[in-house]
Chain A
């Protein structure tokens, strides 16, 4: 027994020395934001990969390891990670990251949300009365979040405050520049049918109409009846169908086939090690699909 414990202790190794600000980001997009703002002054770890639905994760020991060491948690917020992040933070026993502390940053709390104040009624599906939390697909909201994040990092590491603000300013300026070009390219796109109410942020930013959602209600998978209704409503119009890699393709494929619209399987996150270039490439991938029409 004692020997076993000793072996375990040896196997997991010694504590890691902290040099830069340790950041734990919930999703690769948030990690990208933290890297963009923190630059060389932060070490960023990602709690969850981008290829699965962030609504339905569970708190895992590896998340608690990252949170235990972190000085700053960067989350999307807006209750998006409600199903697992509170348990992971609680299990990490790191008081610096508790809601309300400087080490707890939620991007959604720094921007205005779409659909804020919708009724808290679960017969309408998995709704967020505080507003739609999927802000990470709006480059300009990400720009605002970057500036707020710079202030938070400055509070935790005042020595590098100027660098954080500079980086956030650069990121914001780039997003502004790119967005202007993206809007130009997407101008006149006939519109999109989405699976979940997430990419609505990007479509709104690009002024591309959203024709509807494959989910009859948030969190409820497409039903045959709902798909028929969508097809009836959109018959004869033009558009594209988008769904994320982790969303089933059967419903989208059927609507695409019946309407004659192209169907695209999209990513909503940068790779886990992603930086601002990857985020630009991510948004580009959406814009390019809209351009193709």
Chain B
């Protein structure tokens, strides 16, 4: 900024004399009314406040209703094939998940975001999230500013850039909730990890960007990690410590030049988790699973803005993603109590003793899902949209004798009203059709959401 002001001065100093020669020594004919930028009065922008990070607060709340006693989120968590561990649900014993709402009024989150340039070399971003009761660090990362040749590095805790929606915060979504494919294949926060990222924007005449990430590996659906567990009565467990990073991803994004009215971006991504660990605690034994996992996906977004569009009227946005996940696991169960449960270990009827090993097997899980959504600018400040989702087109779990599960679906319609770019009201209806233990569980959900953004308004990314 200072440099710009100085630049203005330099311009004034260098060029004014040439003109001044013909029209008097003091007066600048181009600037009869002091058009040129003048220095700021001292104290107007002191370092005390000028160096503060840019701050914004996003308040996100909703009135929520469903026709299954508020259990719709639990039903989704128990979708056949995707429920953690053995492929079918356990009656929601973990209580409410991250995205679950109560029927009635909910404050989903209050996000506080801070961003600043650290020094000539780094930009930093920190986002803290209050979700009613808990405060958690959502993101905290630094990005390089000065790397040459289109390279950019990022490190800290951040949302992975795989796919399209993964790196967006909930307030940027066009629907209230995260797509099922993202929630069920990765986790309720998508892939949110601590690690490092390197991207390269190729110097081509059309947009082409490549990126790789090395992440610690803690995301439930793809890189669940527990570490070594102690021996039981001299029997070791197959879970072992594995140092991070344990999750590696790569992605490429391509966007052809389609002029000012159309924009298209397509992406491919791949990820590999060197360690996937999971333990299911049964009444007398731990079922340990350990192995690797990988995923690949494609994503695309297309936007059309008619020339001279007023407030987004007539604009179209199409968006979709597909992901396929495979887990390659070894299983070994170890008894921590004598079996059947409650029996005395010296009882000859005890089939299994503490430390006994059972169910040694190797298997693969293969699952996928997609969503497709469209948004249309109805009128200035109003938009409407629809989304279809399906998970488990391929839905094979290999545990035991293996099983091929049914798919789950959800259909949503949305109406958005944005009074200004700082506030938004949204009405969404969703119809869920989820397979749980072979049955079709159907439900209706209604969300009436309000979102307010206070402070600095962050720039819109594509």
A147 to B7, CA, bound (A): 10
**Interface size classification for chain A:** 35 or more
Chain B residue at minimum C-beta to C-beta distance from A152 = B7
Would A64 and B201 count as touching, CB distance under 8 A? yes
Say yes or no for A181: interface residue by CB 8 A criterion: no
By secondary structure, the B interface counts as: loop
CB pair A15 B15 closer than 8 Å:
no
Chain B residues with CB under 8 Å of A77's CB are: 4
Contact A98 B145, CB 8 Å, known A5-B252, A61-B462, A110-B36: yes
A196 to chain B, nearest CB (A): 12
Partner of A91, one of B1, B205, B461: B461
A48 to B305, CA, bound (A): 12
Q: How close is A16's CB to chain B, nearest CB, in angstroms? A: 6
Bound: A9/B203 CA distance, A? 11
The answer to whether residues A109 and B4 also contact, given A83-B460, A168-B15 and a CB cut-off of 8 A, is: yes
B side interface size, CB within 8 A: 70
Q: What 0/1 pattern do residues 161 to 180 of A give for CB contact below 8 A with B?
A: 00001001100100010000
Report B-chain residues with C-beta under 8 Å of the C-beta of A169: 15, 18-19
Stretch of B146-154, B324-332, B401-409 at the chain-chain interface: B146-154
Taken together as a complex, chains A and B put the C-alpha atoms of A200 and B146 apart, in Å, by 39
Task: Render B186-216 as a binary contact track against A, CB cut-off 8 A, 1 for contact.
Answer: 0000000000000111111111100000000
Q: Which residues of chain A (53-98) have a CB below 8 Å from chain B?
A: 56-62, 64-65, 68-69, 77, 82-88, 90-95, 98
Residue of A whose beta carbon sits closest to that of B270: A1
In the complex, A31 has a CB within 8 A of chain B = no
Interface residues in B292-336 (C-beta closer than 8 Å to A): 305, 307-312
State whether B11 touches A247 (Cβ < 8 A): no
Q: Which of A4, A12, A101, A106 has the most CB of B within 10 A?
A: A12
Which residues of A sit under 8 angstroms from B123, Cβ to Cβ? 90
Q: Which of B34, B35, B145, B258 has the most CB of A within 10 A?
A: B35
Contact assessment for A93 and B206 in the assembled complex, using a CB-CB cutoff below 8 Å: no
- Which of A137-145, A186-194, A276-284 participates in binding chain B? A137-145
CB of B459 within 8 A of CB of A85, answer yes
Q: Does any Cβ of A come within 8 Å of B29's Cβ?
A: yes
- Inter-subunit contact B204/A109 (CB<8 Å): no
- Residues of A contacting B18 with CB < 8 Å? 169
> Are B254 and A8 within 8 A (Cβ)?
yes
CB <8 Å contact, B457 and A59:
no
Question: Are B459 and A245 closer than 8 Å at their CB atoms?
Answer: no
Q: Does B14 contact A (CB under 8 A)?
A: yes
Asked if A148 CB lies within 8 Å of chain B CBs, one says yes
Partner of A8, one of B2, B35, B208: B208
Tell me which residues across on chain B come within 8 A of A4, comparing CB atoms: 268
B308 touches A62 (CB 8 A): no
> Using Cβ atoms and an 8 Å threshold, which residues of chain B touch A83?
421, 457, 459-460
Q: Report Cα–Cα, A101/B268, bound state, in Å.
A: 34
CB-based contact A9/B208 at 8 Å: yes
Asked if A151 is at the interface (CB within 8 A of a chain B CB), the reply is yes
A9, A60, A105: the one contacting B263 at CB < 8 Å is A60
Task: Specify the chain A residue showing the minimal Cβ separation from B252.
Answer: A5
Q: Does B265 contact A (CB under 8 A)?
A: yes
Complexed CA–CA distance, A93 and B260 (Å): 22
Closest to B3 in A: A100
Residue B279 lies at the interface, judged by CB distance under 8 Å to chain A: no
A64–B204 Cα gap in the complex (Å)? 11
From 29 to 75 in chain B, residues with beta carbon under 8 angstroms from any chain A beta carbon are 29-31, 34-38
A61 and B260 contacting across the interface, CB-CB below 8 Å: no
Closest chain-B Cβ to A75's Cβ sits at a distance in Å of 10
CA distance A9 to B11 in the complex (A): 44
> CB-nearest residue of chain A relative to B301?
A61
Is there an interface contact between A144 and B11, defined as CB atoms closer than 8 Å?
yes
* Docked CA distance A17–B265 (Å): 25
- Give Cα A76 to B214, complex, Å: 39
Q: Looking at the assembled complex, report how far the CB atom of A265 sits from the nearest CB atom of chain B, in whole angstroms.
A: 9
| A111-B205 in contact (CB<8A) | no
A221: Cβ under 8 A from any B Cβ = yes
CB of B8 closer than 8 Å to a CB of A: yes
Are A61 and B1 within 8 A (Cβ)?
Answer: no
Let me know if A144 and B462 touch, CB within 8 A. no
List residues of B (370-412) whose CB comes within 8 Å of A's CBs: 380-381
State whether A148 and B7 are in contact (beta carbons under 8 Å apart), knowing that A65-B204, A91-B201 are contacts in the complex.
yes
Contact partner of A110 (CB less than 8 A), chosen from B34, B37, B311, B420, is B37
Contact A56/B14 with A12-B205, A112-B35 known, Cβ cut-off 8 Å: no
Q: How far is the CA of A88 from the CA of B459 in the complex (A)?
A: 9
Does B173 touch A at the CB level, under 8 Å?
Answer: no
What's the Cα separation between A98 and B263 when bound, in Å? 25
A86 close to B459 (CB less than 8 A): yes
**B341 at the A interface (CB under 8 A):** no
- Determine if B5 is an interface residue (Cβ-Cβ < 8 Å): yes
Judge whether B35 and A82 touch: CB under 8 Å: no
Closest to A52 in B: B309
B257 part of interface (Cβ distance < 8 Å): yes
Cβ contacts under 8 Å, A92 to chain B: 150, 201
- Contact status of A144 and B420, CB under 8 A, knowing A58-B460, A221-B380: no
How close is A186's CB to chain B, nearest CB, in angstroms? 17
- Contacts known (A110-B11, A141-B35, A221-B381); A51 close to B307, Cβ less than 8 A: yes
Q: Is the CB of B460 within 8 A of A59?
A: yes
7 A-B pairs closest in CB distance: A61-B255, A61-B207, A87-B459, A109-B4, A58-B460, A148-B11, A110-B8
**Cβ contacts A to B, 30 pairs, < 8 Å:** A1-B268, A16-B203, A16-B205, A49-B260, A51-B307, A56-B311, A57-B460, A64-B207, A65-B204, A65-B255, A65-B257, A68-B201, A69-B203, A83-B460, A84-B459, A84-B460, A90-B459, A91-B201, A95-B147, A99-B1, A105-B7, A109-B8, A109-B37, A147-B15, A148-B8, A150-B15, A151-B14, A169-B19, A176-B29, A248-B311
Beyond the given pairs A60-B255, A65-B257, A110-B36, 6 more chain A to chain B contacts, judged by CB atoms under 8 angstroms and listed by A's residue number, are: A4-B268, A8-B254, A68-B201, A77-B4, A93-B152, A221-B381
